[in-house]
Amino acid sequence: MTNEYKTFEKKVKKKHSFAFTPKYFEEIITNLNSKVFIPIVEKTIEKLEWDIVFQDENLIEAKRKTKFGFTSWGNYTEKISISYSFGKVLIKSISLGNEMWDNGRNSKRVKLFIHVFQETEKEFDHKELRELEKEVEKKNNWEDYVIPESLPQPKTRKKPNIYIPIIGGIILSIFLGFFLAFFTFKGKYIIGIYELGVALTIGFSYKYLTKTSNFTDFKKLNFIIIGVIISTYILNQFFLYELIKVENNYFEFSFYDFIVLRFKEGLIIKSLNTGWIGLIISWVFQIGFTWVISYIRLASSMTKYLLERIPEQVVEFAYYHFVKEKTEDQVRIELAKKGWSERQDQDEVFESIGANQTATELNRME
């Protein structure tokens, strides 16, 4: 970003926002039509050195990054969305992270964008806008795309094997269940920290189990992960019961008796006994929190794997034919002509196209 823009941003009169997720928005009017609006916004964002994470015909979203500090979304501090509707432009900036006060930063981003956008808009006369409109139409229709004479050939891959993630999940749940029980028994369990650790371990493990098995049915993997999480926390209770029984020689004390006693004792936080309700809430939190983090990690790692699995030229080739409104069967025929004749290979190409969309949605997350 130029020094001129940095100076302007410093002079902007801030408007502070207080909320669980601070945000700020303004609306302006433009004479641009919908076809040239997005490319001019792109040029504006390029000048501001923000990262574009999504765009369609009437909306573009970007994230602002900083070289200093750290938020829950890495070095991104705000997400800025710019939408167009019949000449009206809505600019909204929303804080990323856990802050409840934005110190006026969102208002500064919005006002800076408006200043640079209006400046960029003035750089184009009517003739240049018509040329820009033609360029946009050519880009959207992929008119500059040259169909390659050949494509990289598919690699030899094993058939997807669901048993690898299932067996891996069973081993993982036993390990994690014992780990949690041991540290709980030693009195070193911290709620929230260990759940995060369990979730990250599951996500990391399934990153490699997915590659090893070549099994990429996300819905089934999600159900497997839910099973792993529930099994982990059930085994946690069982191993905890075994450790307590051995330590205190309660060999006539059954696991059922242990669970009944836990309900009677309830969950004690310092000196406050929250009773059996608190205990159930804590278990629900364990499962829910662990699943959310594991789900996000699984989606992220699988998306990366699906994108890496197929050469970019092959994905572009297939997507081009979809843009030209060809059916799935017709695209399969075109792929077969280029050496991608196996149905599994073709399915993986389509999965890679879908992964591009998933990657976009993950990048858009606030």
What pLDDT was estimated at residue 80?
A: 94
The pLDDT value recorded for residue 74 is 53
pLDDT score, position 116 = 94
| Residue pair 28/84 in contact by the 8 Å Cβ criterion | no
Amino acid, res. 312? E
Both structure tokens of 188: 């070193």
CA distances from 253 to 10, 115, 182, 234, 299 (A): 69, 73, 19, 18, 43
pLDDT of residue 102: 87
Predicted pLDDT at 364: 78
Q: Determine the straight-line distance between the first and last CA of the chain, rounded to whole angstroms.
A: 24
CATH code reported for the domain at 3-140: 3.30.310.80
At residue 98, the 3 state secondary structure works out as: coil
What parts of the chain have a pLDDT lower than 50? Answer: 69-73
Burial class (CB in 10 A: 0-12, 13-18, 19+), 140: exposed
Q: 4-24 pLDDT, tens per residue?
A: 888 888 888 889 888 888 999
Helix (H) or strand (E) holding 91: strand 88-95
| Model pLDDT, residue 76 | 81
Q: pLDDT at position 67, please? A: 61
Domain spans of the chain, in order of start: 3-140, 163-364
The pLDDT of residue 71: 43
217-241 in b/e form (b: 16+ CB < 10 A) is ebeebeebbeebbebbbebbbbbbb
Q: Which long-range contacts (CB under 8 A, 24 or more apart) does 51-54 make?
A: 51/76, 53/79, 53/360, 53/363, 53/364, 54/360, 54/363, 54/364
Question: For the packed helices 218-248 and 275-309, what is the interaxial angle rounded to 10 degrees?
Answer: 140
List the strands of the sheet with 76-85, edge to edge: 23-29, 88-95, 76-85, 59-65, 51-55
Tokens 């780990």 belong to 179
